[in-house]
Amino acid sequence: MPLPRQNDLGRMTELKHMDLKEWQNAILEDELLGSSIVADAPASYNARYKDNAIVTMTFRFALSIWDLAEELQEKKKFVVSNQLFRSGTAIGALVGEAQNGESLRDFIHKMKIALKEADETEYWLLLCIERNLAAAKSCLDNLVPIVRVLNKIISTSNAKLQTTIKKSGK
């Protein structure tokens, strides 16, 4: 894991005092160069999903994967369709699950699994692109910022965890 840059340390101190949703949205805003994403939450009873940009991004991504998987089914590419659907929708499911993590370690673990699913999804999308499925390119374009944000959330969370461990002496 790369160490935080010096200018990141002040930002990490600021983020440390935010609740989980505010913290993730702040990281997302920083990562996407200050652009704001209107976070229309997926329909849910979980208040942690409301106005949570990474949850919204991954939910929207899952919908685009669903559409591509249906296109693959129509072309009788059942194995690729199933693999892409499973890995592509798992990203958002794991990000959602992480919002209810039992601890910061559990949160990080679930986000890492979401990142692994994103890596697998990228592989399937690249195969689809090589087979000239136009919709795969736009899905891949939408996956790139999700991967960047997941990496940033994981590295920032790890730094926060290390700070907590040092303070507690464990």
Averages of pLDDT over runs of 10 residues in the chain (170 residues) are 46 60 72 51 65 91 97 97 98 96 96 98 98 96 97 95 84
* pTM for the whole structure: 0.78
What per-residue confidence (pLDDT) applies to 42?
Answer: 60
CA–CA distance, 126 with 110 (Å, rounded to integer): 24
Centre a 10 Å sphere on the Cβ of residue 169 and count the other Cβ atoms it contains: 5
Task: Identify the pLDDT of residue 6.
Answer: 44
Tokens of 10: 């002040």
What are the sequence ranges of the domains in the chain?
19-168
Name the superfamily (CATH) of residues 19-168: 23S rRNA-intervening sequence (1.20.1440.60)
pLDDT of residue 10: 55
The radius of gyration computed from the CA coordinates of the chain, to the nearest angstrom, equals 17
Report the pLDDT value the prediction gives residue 136, as an integer from 0 to 100: 97
Candidates 142, 166, 162; CA nearest to 154 is: 162
Residue 22: C-alpha distances to residues 16, 53, 115, 121, 142 (Å): 10, 9, 20, 27, 22
The crossing angle, in degrees rounded to 10, of helices 134-168 and 6-16 is 80
Taking every pair of Cα atoms in the chain, the longest distance, rounded to a whole number of angstroms, is 58
Q: Classify each residue of 106-118 as buried b or exposed e, where b means 16 or more C-beta atoms within 10 Å of its C-beta.
A: ebbbbbbbbbebb
Q: What is the pLDDT of residue 11?
A: 54
